[in-house]
Each structure stands twice: as structure tokens, then as C-alpha cells.
């Protein structure tokens, strides 16, 4: 960009050294209706040339500027620029704003209007700016003329310029300098790209175009949103609230205490960092041993593979135009992942619940491409099936998928494994067991009489033993009688309950 904020110097623009004539139009004076139609045509960018420029204050002949310029009255400039703003809001659909820059050239003031290719084509403009005008038409450029798109041209315009996915759009608020060469190199090395060995010697524009993370006309290349999401250290500057929030409620949402951690940065980094944080702090394995067999059962409160897949899906399918984070809420009874908005209406909730969801329209196809390269996703609508498979392998309850009728949000609930809850309860009981009761549990080997237990713990006082050891253990369901229906039987013996055995196993 030059110092005036244009992507091309005035010399190059007026002498045709950097832009094609199909992308340039001269106007001797201010004609809002004609300028409107040309702005609309450049926004539609029918031939994918990158939009174009309108120079007001220079007469043309056979498409060539007649110099010196006629110029504009300085008193007109402010009113013209305000009218351009108004036209962009009220006379073009969807709303579109070009950039206008006053320039002093050869002693005269001219106005350069830069109209890049629009992000939400096709555009249409009012045919007539009179108060009674209510007819709208799509305009395109043909050679050096602005014309109404008709018949086959109109069909082609609609088919070629359907709404571009958000992650594949040019970001005209950023520059190629906002792309990090270091992050690009790291990515290329990780995926084993041959470009990794050359990237340090190449201009950023070449790298960006080869990776399809940049584009636009040669004089005004822009990074694409996907480039900023993956290869900028702080993508939240361009897409506010691009982050993952992990919130832990040890006593449930109604408790007085919670832990919260925010993850910001390139998309693949925050996915990995958030998952690592969850795995390190909140995923617990339980080992259950059985008296009748050598093999132990191993289970997780929440299976990592299911959490990983749901997290990646949330980042892949969320909208980056909605300023809401992906949120992970962890509670004693469930782990919840929430993102905005919900799934495309082409996917039914019945299909999601059955694991048969197949998307026909992707909100962020380019994000999926890069996450697939990093082996974080398969990108084949397999996410729900992978979640359900991981849940089944862990023996956890089925996950719950939720949204509303308007698909405003998508929520995945992972109920905790019930045996993990029992394990947590065992750990809690262990902390509350007195030293005397724990000593008794350690001494109890199979079925033993009262006298044998007293001898094993070194107690001679029957009353004290009953109160502080045996009765306390029975009350906590840690020891049971062999003859519960005859508590005073002379042949009565005592043994560990299942709860007592679990405590002893946890101690081992």
C-alpha cells in the first residue's frame, strides 16, 4: 500500500502500468448514479480480477486519461465521500463500502475510489437514484464498460459468486505482514511439505498464494481469514473471542468455587493446549480389580478420544462472526462442550443422535483442510461416529447432543462414567476413615473372629476395640458380619465389604 492508503501508486494507476483497463474507469465529474453502477460491477468482479478503481476528476477518451486532470472543487470532496457512504448502505445490496482517497495530481485534486471484489457476491444496485426508483439490477464489467448482467451472464454471476465461506474470504483489514513466517514454517515441517525447505527464501505473497492463504490482485494482495486464523499469533485481533474457555466446577455450577482458563492463539495451538490442560488436570483413570480373575478393568471418567473429537468439531464448525467462545464446562457428573451456532439445517438431530450425520454444506471448509493436514480431524463427517465409538469402548453412558429449533447453539454432554464416580467416593471415604479403622481394615484377612481381630491390631480392651474399631467400621459399611442375622453368635466372624476392599485396593 502507498502512503495514501491505496494498494497502487497514482503513477502506476494513471499510466496503466499495474492494472488492466477493465479494472479502471475515469469520470470527468461526480455522477453518483454512474459511479454507483461501476462500484457494483467492481464488487461483483465477474472475471475474478480483484475489483477495480474509479478516478473522479479526470476526463477520458477511448479509455485513456486526458491529462492534466480537470480536478474537483475542494468544497465537493466531503459531500461526495459522504454520498459514497450513503450509497453503499442504501443503494447496493448487500451493503458494500469502497474506499475513497482524495489525491493531488498535477496541481488538481482528484478522488480515487477503490472497489475491491466483494465478499458476499452477487451485488445489485438501484437502476435509478430518484425517489421513485425501485428497480434493482446486477452490474458487471465488460471490457471498459459497466453493463447490466443479463441472461447467461447473470446465471454465471450467480453460480460463480455464491457466498464465499467465511474462512476463505480475503481480509481487507489485514496485510500479508500479519502472517507469521515462523508459524508457517512450523506447520509445513509438521505436515512434511516440500515447501518447508524453500519458504525462508520466498516472498510472503508467493508463500501465501501457494498455500492459498492469500489472494487478491497483484497490486493489493490480502491474507485470507484462514491464514490469519492459523498463522497469526493473535487471531482474536481480527476475529474477536476466538478462544476456548475451560471452566471447572468442583462442586457443580451452584458452588462457590470454580477454576477458569482461557486459550487464545492459532486454532491448532489452542485445540492442543486446551486438550492437554483437560487431560492433565481433569481426566482420571480408574482401575477395578476383581477377586475372581487376574485382569483388571481400566476406565476413564471421560474418554480422551471423544473429548478431542468434540473439541475439534466445535472449532471446525463454529462461526467466527459470532463473538462467543467455545466453552468446556467440567462438573463432577458431566463434561459439556458448547459452541455457536448449531449444525446446518441439512443435518437432522435424529441423524446426529444415530451417528449418521453427513454435512452437505461446510461452514469452514478451509479450517477442515488444515486440521486434516495436522491429523486433528478426518474432515469426512465422521466426528459423531468417532465420539460414539470412543464412548462405547470406555463403557461410558451415551453422549447427549443438543440444539434449539433455530440452531443457535450446539452442545455435547458427556456423562461421567458411573464407576468413576464410585471410585471418587471411595477416595473420599478413605480420607474420612480414622486411623484405627484403617488399621483394622489392613489387619482383616478373610473371615476373622473378634478375638483374632483384636489380637491383630494389638488391642486388649474389648469395649474400646468395639467403639473405635469394629463398630465404626461396620457403621461405615467397611466390614460386615458373616452371620448378620445372629450378631451375638459365638461363631460370628467379620470380613471386608466390597467398599472396604475397594479402599484397600486404592491404598495399594
Q: Which of 90-104, 359-373, 429-443, 451-465 has the lowest mean pLDDT?
A: 429-443
Is 70 exceeded by the pLDDT of residue 430?
A: no
- How far is residue 505's CA from residue 250's CA, in Å, rounded to a whole number? 25
Once rounded to an integer, what is the mean pLDDT over residues 278-300?
Answer: 80
Is residue 333 pLDDT above 50, yes or no? yes
Q: Among all chains, which residue has been given the C-alpha cell 458411573?
A: 418
Determine the straight-line distance between the first and last CA of the chain, rounded to whole angstroms: 69
Average pLDDT over residues 26-39: 96
Cα 294 to Cα 413: distance, rounded to the nearest angstrom: 34
pLDDT tens column, 200-253: 899 999 999 989 899 888 888 999 999 999 999 999 999 999 999 999 998 888
Predicted pLDDT of residue 65: 86
Residue 401, beta-bridge partner list:
412
Neighbours of 276 (CB within 10 A): 11
pLDDT in tens, 177-197: 999 999 999 999 998 888 888
Q: The C-alpha cell of 216 is what? A: 487478491
Average pLDDT for the chain: 86
- The answer to whether the beta carbons of residues 98 and 84 sit under 8 Å apart is yes
Cα(425)–Cα(419) distance, integer angstroms: 10
Per-range mean pLDDT, top range of 167-171, 239-243, 354-358: 239-243
Residue 292, pLDDT > 70, answer no
Give the other-Cβ count within 10 Å of 391's Cβ: 20
Q: Which of 445, 441, 448 is nearest to 426 (CA)?
A: 441
**Residue 378 banded pLDDT, cuts 50, 70, 90:** low
**Domains of the chain and CATH, by start:** 10-163 (3.30.950.30), 176-233 (no CATH), 243-419 (3.30.565.60), 433-507 (1.10.10.10)
Nearest Cα residue to 472 out of 436, 424, 431: 436
Residue 346: band (very low, low, confident or very high) from pLDDT cuts 50, 70, 90 = low
Percent of the chain with pLDDT over 90: 51
Q: Is the peptide bond before 484 cis (omega within 30 degrees of 0)?
A: no
CB atoms within 10 A of CB 358: 11
Q: What is the pTM of this model?
A: 0.65
Average pLDDT over residues 95-122: 90
Distance between CA atoms of residues 33 and 56, nearest Å: 13
Higher pLDDT, 175 or 379: 175
**Distance (Å, whole) CA 424 – CA 252:** 15
Mean pLDDT across 100-106: 90
CA–CA separation, 365 and 226 (whole Å) = 10
More confident residue, 424 or 392: 392
Amino acid at each position: 500500500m502507498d502512503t495514501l492508503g491505496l494498494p497502487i501508486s497514482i503513477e502506476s494507476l494513471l499510466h496503466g502500468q499495474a492494472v488492466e483497463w477493465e479494472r479502471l474507469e475515469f469520470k470527468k465529474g461526480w455522477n453518483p448514479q454512474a459511479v454507483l453502477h461501476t462500484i457494483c460491477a467492481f464488487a461483483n468482479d465477474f472475471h475474478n480480477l480483484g475489483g477495480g478503481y474509479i478516478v473522479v476528476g479526470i476526463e477520458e477518451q477511448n479509455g485513456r486519461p486526458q491529462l492534466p486532470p480537470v480536478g474537483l472543487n475542494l468544497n465537493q470532496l466531503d459531500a461526495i465521500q459522504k454520498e459514497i457512504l450513503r450509497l453503499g448502505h442504501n443503494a447496493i445490496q448487500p451493503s458494500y463500502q469502497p474506499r475513497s482517497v482524495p489525491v493531488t495530481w498535477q496541481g488538481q485534486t482528484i478522488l480515487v475510489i477503490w472497489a475491491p471484489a466483494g465478499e458476499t457476491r452477487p451485488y445489485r444496485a438501484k437502476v435509478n437514484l430518484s425517489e421513485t426508483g425501485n428497480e434493482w439490477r446486477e452490474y458487471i464489467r465488460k471490457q471498459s464498460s459497466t453493463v447490466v448482467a443479463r441472461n447467461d451472464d447473470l446465471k454465471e454471476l450467480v453460480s460463480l459468486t455464491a457466498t464465499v465461506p467465511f474462512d476463505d474470504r480475503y481480509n481487507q483489514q489485514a496485510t500479508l505482514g500479519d502472517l507469521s513466517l515462523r508459524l508457517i514454517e512450523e506447520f509445513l515441517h509438521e505436515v512434511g511439505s516440500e515447501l518447508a525447505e524453500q519458504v525462508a527464501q520466498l516472498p510472503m505473497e508467493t508463500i501465501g498464494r501457494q498455500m492459498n492463504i492469500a489472494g487478491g490482485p497483484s497490486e493489493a494482495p490480502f491474507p485470507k481469514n484462514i491464514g490469519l486464523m492459523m498463522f497469526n499469533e493473535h487471531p482474536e485481533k481480527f476475529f474477536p473471542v476466538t478462544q476456548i474457555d475451560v471452566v471447572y466446577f468442583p462442586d457443580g455450577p451452584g458452588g462457590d468455587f470454580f477454576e477458569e482458563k482461557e486459550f487464545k492463539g492459532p486454532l491448532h495451538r489452542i485445540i492442543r493446549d486446551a486438550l492437554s490442560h483437560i487431560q492433565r488436570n481433569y481426566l482420571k483413570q480408574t482401575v477395578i480389580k476383581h477377586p475372581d480373575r487376574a485382569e483388571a478393568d481400566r476406565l476413564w471418567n471421560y474418554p480422551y478420544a471423544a473429548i478431542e473429537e468434540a473439541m475439534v468439531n466445535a472449532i471446525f464448525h463454529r462461526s467466527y462472526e459470532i463473538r462467543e467462545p467455545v466453552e468446556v464446562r467440567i462438573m463432577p457428573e458431566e463434561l459439556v462442550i458448547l459452541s455457536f451456532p448449531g449444525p446446518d439445517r441439512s443435518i437432522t438431530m435424529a441423524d446426529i443422535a444415530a451417528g449418521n450425520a453427513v454435512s452437505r454444506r461446510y461452514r469452514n471448509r478451509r479450517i477442515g483442510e488444515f486440521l486434516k493436514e495436522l491429523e486433528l480431524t478426518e474432515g469426512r463427517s465422521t466426528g459423531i461416529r468417532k465420539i460414539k465409538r470412543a464412548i462405547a469402548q470406555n463403557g461410558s453412558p451415551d453422549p447427549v447432543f443438543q440444539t434449539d429449533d433455530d440452531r443457535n447453539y450446539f452442545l455435547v454432554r458427556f456423562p461421567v462414567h458411573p464407576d468413576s464416580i464410585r471410585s471418587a467416593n471411595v477416595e473420599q471415604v478413605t480420607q474420612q476413615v480414622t486411623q484405627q479403622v484403617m488399621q483394622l481394615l489392613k489387619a482383616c484377612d478373610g473371615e476373622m473372629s473378634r478375638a483374632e481381630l483384636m489380637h491383630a491390631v494389638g488391642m486388649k480392651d474389648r469395649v474400646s476395640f468395639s467403639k473405635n474399631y469394629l463398630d465404626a467400621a461396620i457403621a461405615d459399611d467397611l466390614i460386615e458380619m458373616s452371620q448378620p442375622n445372629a450378631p451375638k453368635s459365638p461363631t460370628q466372624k467379620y470380613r471386608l465389604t466390597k467398599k472396604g476392599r475397594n479402599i484397600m485396593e486404592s491404598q495399594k
